[in-house]
Structure 1
C-alpha cells in the first residue's frame, strides 16, 4: 500500500452547512454541481457547489423533517429528490416548490434509500427489517414490501440488482424483477457489523465496510472462479501512544469513470483505492473530524466530503460540536482517480 498524503490545495469548504451531524451526502447523477446533504438537524439541504460569490457554492433550498434525516438521494432528474430518517417516513421533495410528499411509512426508522433507474423506483431499507419499493409516479406509490431477517443498515443498487446489508453480517442480493426471494444469501466477509455497502458502477460487484476499520470487495457472479477474487483489507487505523486505534469506515463512493473508490473513516481520513489492483492510490490530508460521508459527482471531477464530530472523535456523550460540521469539495486533478494500468 502507498502512504503518500496529498494536500488540500484543490479543496474548499462550502460556506453554508448544516447545524448538526451529517448523515449522508450525494451528488446528482444528472448535474455536475448539485449536492444533497441530510443531517441530524432534521433538514435535507440542496446545494449548488459552484454557484454564488466566486462560485464558492450556495444553498438552493432545504426541506424540514419531523426528526433527524438519515439518508437522501436524487431520482430520475434534479427535480426529484427523496429523503428518509428517524420519523419513519419516505418523502419526495420538490426543489422548485419546496413541497414535501410522503410516499410511505415504515414501522421504525428508515436507515437507507436509493433510486433505481431501471425500474424507476425508490427503495428504502428500515430498522423494522422491511424493504419497500415505491413508484413515485403512481397515485399509490408502494409497489413491494419485502421483509428481511435482520435490521437493515445499508442498501445499494445497480442495473436490476439490489444489495441489502443487515445486522448479523447478513447480505442479500435481489433481482428487482423478482423480489419474492433473494437471488443470493451471503455472510459478510467482514467479522464485525457492516456500516455501508456500495455497488460497483460496472455492475460486477460491490464493496462493503465495517465498524472495525475494514473494507471488503466482492463480486455478484457466484462461480468459484469469481468468488476466489473477493478479498478484504484493513484501513482507517491510527497509531497513537503506541496503540493501534481502529475506526469505523463510514462511507464508500466509486469513481464513475475509473471504478476506483474512496473511503471515509472515523479517523478523519479519506483514501482512494484501486479495488482491482488491491492497492491504495492516495491518502488525503486529514480532516479535522470524523468523515461521515463521501460522494463523487457524475463525471468524477469533484469529490464531496462531509465531516461531523462525535463518538469517533473521543467524545463520550456523542455530541457533535457545530464547528466540526463541514462540507468540502475537492477538485480532482487530471487522472487523479485512475487505477493501475488505466
Structure 2
C-alpha cells in the first residue's frame, strides 16, 4: 500500500477563495472536469474553474446550503436550511425558487436517466422536480428524516434516520421497491451507488463502510460485506471517526472514502482491498467528488463540529488532487 509523505503533494493544489464556513458539498459537472460546484454553511453556492483556479460566480440562499448539484453545464440546483430549492442559470446569472420543503433540504441530486431533480429533506419526504417546467413532480413520504440519497440508473436509494434504507424506482414512485435496514449499527452518514448500477456503498458515523447489492436474491446478497476504516490508534487507544464522504471513480468502479480523521482512502470494493491512503488533511473530510474523466478528486477539508465549538479550527479548504491509475485502478 502506498502512503504519501505529509505535505509532499505536488500533484494537488488548493482552490483560491474557498468558503469561510463549513463546506457541505463539492460536485463536478456531469461532463466537464473543469468546473466544480461548492455549497457552504456561509449561505453561498460557488462555481469554480479549476483549470484557472478562480471563482466564476456565486449566489446565495437565506440560510446555510446543505447540498447542490449540476443539472447540465449551465444549470445548478441547491437547497438547505431555508427549505427552498433554487435553480441558478450560469448564462443569464438568474436564480429561480423552484419550490420548497417543510424543513431543511439535506440532499439535492440530478438523475440524468429520468431527467429529474431529486431532493431529500428533514421533513421526511423526497420530492421530484421537473427541470423543464421548474415545478414539483411529486412528494413521497419516507420513514424518517432523509440524511443521504443517491440515484442509480432509474433507481433511487435513500438513507434516513433510524438506519433505514429505501430503494425506489424513479419511473414508478407509487410504492417502495425495497425496505432495508442498514447493516451498520450506527447512524448512516453517506450512500453512493456503483457506476455499474448493481449496488451501493453506505458509511456510518462509527468508522465503518458497507458494500451492498440491490438484487435481493440470496445468491447476490451473499456478496455484501462491511469493513472498519477511519480509525487511528493513539497511545494504545483506538479513536473511531465518522465516515462522511464517499465518491466513485466512474471508470474503475473503485471508491474514495473521507473521514473526520482527515484521511482519504481509495478502496477496491470488489476485491475488498485498500489501494492507497493520501496524506492527512488539516481537518475532517466533508465531501469528495471524482471528475467525470477520473483524473481528479475534489476534497473538501472542513471541520464538522464533531467535538463542538473549538478555537483555532483549521480553515476550510478545497483541494484538487490529480489521481493516477496506480492510486485508483484495481490491482
- 2:4 paired with 1:6: yes
* TM superposition shift of 1:319: 7.2
* TM superposition shift of 1:256: 0.8
Distance 2:312 2:174 in 1: 41
Structure 1's 146 and 244: CA in aligned 2 closer, same or farther, altered over 3 A?
A: same
Residue-pair matches, total: 328
Equivalent residues of 2:164, 2:181 under 8 A apart = yes
Counterpart among 137, 156, 171 of residue 143 in structure 1? 137
Partner of 1:50, secondary structure, is: coil
* TM superposition shift of 1:14: 1.0
- 2:187 paired with 1:212: no
Distance 2:40 2:112 in 1: 25
Which structure 1 residue ranges, 4+ long, deviate > 3 Å from structure 2? 318-321
Equivalent residues of 1:216, 1:233 under 8 A apart = yes
Report the counterpart of residue 60 of structure 1 in structure 2: 56
Q: Deviations over 1:34-58 (max 9, x none)?
A: 101100000001001111xxxxx11
- 2:173 paired with 1:179: yes
* TM superposition shift of 1:120: 0.6
Equivalent residues of 2:23, 2:300 under 8 A apart = yes
* TM superposition shift of 1:78: 1.1
Distance 1:217 1:324 in 2: 33
Report the counterpart of residue 303 of structure 2 in structure 1: 309
Counterpart among 307, 330, 335 of residue 321 in structure 2? 330
Equivalent residues of 1:38, 1:70 under 8 A apart = yes
Counterpart among 80, 84, 87 of residue 82 in structure 2? 87
Q: Deviations over 1:297-326 (max 9, x none)?
A: 0010000100112434x4x326784x5200
Report the counterpart of residue 113 of structure 2 in structure 1: 118
Distance 2:189 2:73 in 1: 28
Give the aligned CA root-mean-square deviation in angstroms: 1.3
Equivalent residues of 1:308, 1:320 under 8 A apart = no
Structure 1's 96 and 5: CA in aligned 2 closer, same or farther, altered over 3 A?
A: same
Counterpart among 224, 231, 238 of residue 230 in structure 1? 224
Partner of 2:327, secondary structure, is: coil
Equivalent residues of 2:286, 2:304 under 8 A apart = no
* TM superposition shift of 1:336: 2.6
Report the counterpart of residue 54 of structure 1 in structure 2: none
Partner of 1:336, secondary structure, is: helix
* TM superposition shift of 1:226: 0.4
Structure 2, gaps ≥5 residues long: none
Distance 1:105 1:319 in 2: 35
Equivalent residues of 2:20, 2:315 under 8 A apart = no
Partner of 1:180, secondary structure, is: coil
Q: Deviations over 1:117-145 (max 9, x none)?
A: 11111000000001000001115x10111
Alignment of 1:1-342 (within 5 A): 2=1, 4-7=2-5, 8-51=9-52, 57-75=53-71, 77-138=72-133, 141-312=135-306, 314=307, 316-317=308-309, 321=313, 323-340=314-331
- Given the two structures, how large is their TM-score scaled by the length of structure 2? 0.96
Equivalent residues of 1:20, 1:320 under 8 A apart = no
Distance 2:327 2:261 in 1: 22
* TM superposition shift of 1:113: 1.0
Distance 2:211 2:304 in 1: 28
